[in-house]
Structures are given as C-alpha cells and as structure tokens.
Amino acid sequence: MKNEINGEEIKGKLIAVEGLDGSGKSTQVHLLYKWLLGNGYKVFFTEWNSSDLVKEATKKGKKRQLLTPTTFSLIHATDFTDRYERQILPMLKAGYIVLCDRYIFTSYARDQVRGCDPDWLRNIYRHVILPDIVFYFQLPLEVSLSRILDGRPALKYFEAGMDMNLSPDPYMSFRLFQGRVKEQYELMVEEFHFTVLQAELLILQQQEKMKEVVKSKINLSLYRKGVQ
C-alpha cells in the first residue's frame, strides 16, 4: 500500500473500519480512539457522511427520496472528499493516526449493489490514499440484522435499500439489501487486504485484538504527542 502522494512521504497512519450496520465497528473504533487518545498519541477520528457543508443536501435528498444510485454515490463522494481534503489528508501529512468509521469501501459496496459501475466508482476515489489497516467486521448476516431489527426501529428509506424495490416491506428490504452489501464486502477482503475480525467476540476481547493488530502494524512510539 502506498504511503506517499506525488512523491511526498505521508508520515501519519490511516486506520479504517468497515462492515454492515450492527457489526459493532463504530463501538470498536470509538474505543480504539479513546485508548490512543488516553495514551497520549496524536490521533484524529472522522466518520462517514459528516461533512457540515454537504450534510444538508444529503439530508434533503434522503428525506425527499430524490436520490438515484448515481447521485447517492456522488453526494457521498462530495462529503468524503470535503473531509478527505480538509481533514484526513492534512492530519496524515502532519503525522497523525487517523481513524475512519467507514471509508471508500462503503461506497464501493453499497453503490455497486445499487447498480453503479465498479470502474466508474473507483475512478471517483482514485486519488485517495489507501488505509494502512482496514478492519472488516465480518459478522454472520443474521447477527448484524438482528442487532438492528430486533427493536423494530423505523428504518430509513435508503438505509433499508427501499430505492431498489427489493421488497415493499422495509424489514425484508433491509435484509436483502444488507445481504448484498455483505457479498460486496467479502469480494473486497483480498483485494484491499482487509484485516477480518470475526466479530462474535465480547466487546472487550474484540478491542484487545484490534489493539494487538495496531501495535503490530504501527510503531506507535512515533506518534506520541511531542514526538516530531
């Protein structure tokens, strides 16, 4: 994996977590962030779909169900690129460990399920640096489904993949959609060297495992605050 851009060495390290809704990735990356922060490391955390400027348009598009597969993909790419250029890349150049709750692989998986052409998708993100570690939370589909669906929550239209007309029932639609997204994730494991976490461990154990991987792949002593 490249750790330079246009010949410029990138000092920082990039860690991403990916997986289905309900796979536990957000909990784990939050804990990892707290651990790194608490131990005095230079660390920055950012999550999918959170850029201030694009948020409003995204919200509007989702609420009014205006989005097509193409604009769904592009509006998330706009959001990502805003965060990438304003935060992720500068942080990496400044020597931070950057943690991302979802990265470009979320778009590759979801948008491909919605019918976007894979080459077109990859072109959009082709300037983007690949993470040093991608943790992929590989739960059995039923487990992540039940974590989300057991409370019978009000599922959002796009979240449930309702735009794809898989089923008129949002819960069934969600199941089918998530199943297809999972398939796409599995296809990327090898290509993008995902570190697979078979995620039925207890939260504490899972976290220990992540820390081990991080320690083995990143020389953390270089990222202490005050170290240049």
Partner 1 sequence: MNQKLFFGAPPPNVDPARLCGKLIVIEGLDSSGRTTQVSLLSDWLEEQGNAVIQTGLKRSELVSESLEQAKKGNVLSPRTVSLFYATDFYDQLENRIIPSLKAGFVVIADRYIYTLMARDILRGADPEWLKILYSRAIIPDAVFFLNVDCNSLLDRTLQSRGKLDYWESGMDIGYAREWYDSFMIYQQNMRVEFRKLHKEFHFNVINANRSQRTIHNELKKKIELMLEK
Task: Tell me which of 88, 98, 116, 133 binds partner 1, using CB under 8 A.
Answer: 116
Q: Which of 77, 88, 92, 100 binds partner 1 (CB under 8 A)?
A: 77
Q: How far apart are CA 218 and CA 10, in angstroms?
A: 14
Q: Which helix (H) or strand (E) holds 25?
A: helix 25-38
Q: How far is the CB of 58 from partner 1 (least distance, A)?
A: 9
Stretch touching partner 1 by CB under 8 A, among 15-23, 72-80, 178-186, 199-207: 72-80
What lies within 8 Å, CB to CB, of 202 at 6+ separation is: none
Q: Which is it for strands 97-101 and 8-9: parallel, antiparallel or unpaired?
A: unpaired
* The only residue of 5, 37, 74, 218 in contact with partner 1, by rule CB under 8 A: 74
Minimum separation from the CB atom of position 67 to partner 1 (A): 7
Indicate whether 94 belongs to the interface with partner 1 (CB under 8 A).
no
Q: Would you tell me the crossing angle of helices 104-113 and 69-83 to the nearest 10 degrees?
A: 180
- Tokens for 9? 């060495």
Rule CB under 8 A: say whether 153 interacts with partner 1.
no
63 is a contact residue toward partner 1 (CB under 8 A) = no
Contact between 36 and partner 1 by CB under 8 A: the answer reads no
Cα–Cα distance between 70 and 116 in angstroms, integer? Answer: 7
List 120, 142, 198, 205, residue binding partner 1 (CB under 8 A): 120
Query: Near partner 1 by CB under 8 A, which window of 1-9, 33-41, 112-120, 182-190?
Result: 112-120
Among 27-35, 120-128, 146-154, 185-193, the segment contacting partner 1 (CB under 8 A) = 120-128
100 binds partner 1 (CB under 8 A): no
Between CA 110 and CA 114, with CA 113 as vertex, the angle to 5 degrees is 90
* Helix (H/G/I), strand (E/B), else coil: 168: coil
CA-to-CA dists, residue 77 to 83, 179, 227, angstroms: 10, 23, 34
Does an H or E element contain 100, and which?
A: strand 97-101
Number of residues this chain uses to bind partner 1 (CB under 8 A): 31
Task: Spell out, one character per residue from 127 to 146, where the chain touches partner 1: x when CB under 8 A holds, - when not.
Answer: x-------------------
